[in-house]
Amino acid sequence: MKPRRILQFGTSRFLQAHVDLFAHEANAVGRDAIEITVTKISPDSSRAHRVGALAVPGGFRVELRGLHGGSVVERTVQVRSVKRALTAETEWPRLVDIFAEDTDLVVSNSGDEGYRLSERDGEVAGDGLRAPVSFPAKLASLLIARWRRTARGLSIFPCELVNRNGDALRAVVEEAAIRCGAPPAFRKWLSSDVRFVNTLVDRIVSEPIEPAGAVAEPYALWAIEGMQAGDAPFEHLAVVVTPDLERYERLKLHILNLGHTVLADRWLAGGAAAMTVGEAVADPAYRAYLDLVFEQEVLPGFAARGLEVEARDYMRTTMERFANPFLKHRLADIAQNHSMKVVRRIGGFRDWATSAGHAVEMRRLDEICERSASRR
């Protein structure tokens, strides 16, 4: 079986416990033959030691710890899907060669600022001589090089937590190409032969293992917008191909993320400094309040949009994830940028739920929005 070659932008612990682990498990059961090349795209020197450790022959360790179906899960996997690892800043010509001639598809996780262009990107000429600063400009430069050498199409699967991430990445790559004066023929090829796929990732990866590896919860999802199984990079139980990605986005944003923000709001009123999500849902007062929000306000909102069954199932899974005794997910961390999160997770839910034309009472969520506005 000819291996499918994935070029991965980003060395994050999330990708190690998500895409890299999935690919390893797909290889292990013989469903696919996947070989991953990891590329460090950040100038952060503190991660330099991780690059070499990702591609050692023995692989790196991922520990899965948590609850699944009421039972405790503790499982360790030695991930061996990564075959090469390099640094874009210092190995750019090699990266150009790999991208242009030895890559079948791309995945990325470039961080919160990943889709921003830099004034220091300079001319994205695709000549293989230097790496632009920003990730979108790097990708544009590599795509130009691929178009010039082989013009083979490919699919790009972004894993950044950005709404419609494939559409968003395409737009900024097109902007980078225009800035550097890429010819119309390239832009036509980019439009017709390069597929930017919208995806949603869902897994809590709580801590790194040095020099490479991660600790994560058992739950995982990679939802990929498409029409058939062949639209995915490989087969895996956690990989779902769906024509309706918004359903998965709404469940995650307005149940998992909203639940975190509800707990953070209660914590801001005087919770213990080091309180974790697990400790909060074990506290009768916190748990009772969250249950009321979910049952009396969130669930009716999803029901108004025809998603009551899916929401109830996801709530059950979410509460089990929140109760994970191994995750040290502090409410102090979740409460960062609280006002912005309230607007998107709670305000966005109210707008979405009520836009269906059904009146849904959301007294507690309204109060959280009011408190958040008063703290600004």
Q: What is the pLDDT of residues 302-358, one digit of tens each?
A: 999 999 999 999 999 999 999 999 988 899 999 999 999 999 999 999 999 999 877
Residue 227: predicted pLDDT? 79
The C-alpha angle 61, 66, 69, rounded to 5 degrees, equals: 130
Instruction: Report the distance separating Cα 140 and Cα 153, nearest Å.
Output: 14
pLDDT digits (tens, 9 = 90+) for 80-98: 999 999 999 999 999 999 9
Rounded percentage of the chain residues whose pLDDT exceeds 70: 97
Instruction: Report the distance separating Cα 329 and Cα 340, nearest Å.
Output: 19
pLDDT band at 49 (very low <50, low <70, confident <90, very high): confident
**Which helix H or strand E contains 201, and what residues bound it?**
strand 199-202
Strand, coil or helix: what is 168? Answer: helix
Instruction: Report the distance separating Cα 172 and Cα 204, nearest Å.
Output: 28
Residue 183 backbone zone (phi > 0: left; psi -120 to 50: alpha; other: beta): beta
Q: Helix H segments across the chain? A: 13-17, 19-28, 48-54, 92-101, 135-149, 165-179, 184-193, 245-251, 258-268, 277-282, 284-293, 299-304, 308-322, 331-334, 338-341, 348-354, 363-375
Residue 123: predicted pLDDT? 57
Residue 42: what are its φ and ψ, rounded to 5°? -85, 145
Contact between residue 41 and residue 135 where contact means Cβ atoms under 8 Å apart: yes
Strand, coil or helix: what is 240? Answer: strand
Two structure tokens written together for 307: 């998603």
Residue 261: predicted pLDDT? 98
Q: Tell the residue number behind the tokens 């034309």, with chain if given.
A: 357
pLDDT at 127 over 70: no
CATH number (1.20.120.1200, 3.50.50.60, 3.30.420.10, 1.10.1040.10) of 246-375 reads 1.10.1040.10
Q: Tell the residue number behind the tokens 């059961």, with chain if given.
A: 29
Which CATH superfamily groups domain 4-243? NAD(P)-binding Rossmann-like Domain (3.40.50.720)
Domain with CATH 3.40.50.720 in the chain: 4-243
Q: Which of 132, 42, 223 is nearest to 143 (CA)?
A: 132
pLDDT digits (tens, 9 = 90+) for 266-278: 999 999 999 999 9
Contact between residue 60 and residue 209 where contact means Cβ atoms under 8 Å apart: yes
Mean pLDDT of 367-374: 93
pLDDT at 111 over 80: no
The mean predicted confidence, pLDDT, of the chain is 93
Strands 205-208 and 213-216: antiparallel
Residue 25: predicted pLDDT? 97
Mean pLDDT of 60-76: 95
- Half-sphere exposure of 10 toward its Cβ, with a 13 Å CA cutoff? 25
Mean pLDDT of 241-261: 96
pLDDT band at 210 (very low <50, low <70, confident <90, very high): very high
pLDDT digits (tens, 9 = 90+) for 157-200: 999 999 999 999 999 999 999 988 899 999 999 999 999 999 99
Residue 125: predicted pLDDT? 52
Residue 231: predicted pLDDT? 81
Domain with CATH 1.10.1040.10 in the chain: 246-375
Residue 303: predicted pLDDT? 96
Question: Can you give the pTM of this predicted structure?
Answer: 0.91
Two structure tokens written together for 84: 């090469």
- Measure the CA dihedral 325/342/201/91, to 10°: -100
Residue 48: predicted pLDDT? 76
Contact between residue 215 and residue 195 where contact means Cβ atoms under 8 Å apart: no
pLDDT at 1 over 90: no
Residue 189: predicted pLDDT? 98
Instruction: Report the distance separating Cα 168 and Cα 189, nearest Å.
Output: 18
pLDDT digits (tens, 9 = 90+) for 14-36: 999 999 999 999 999 987 799 99
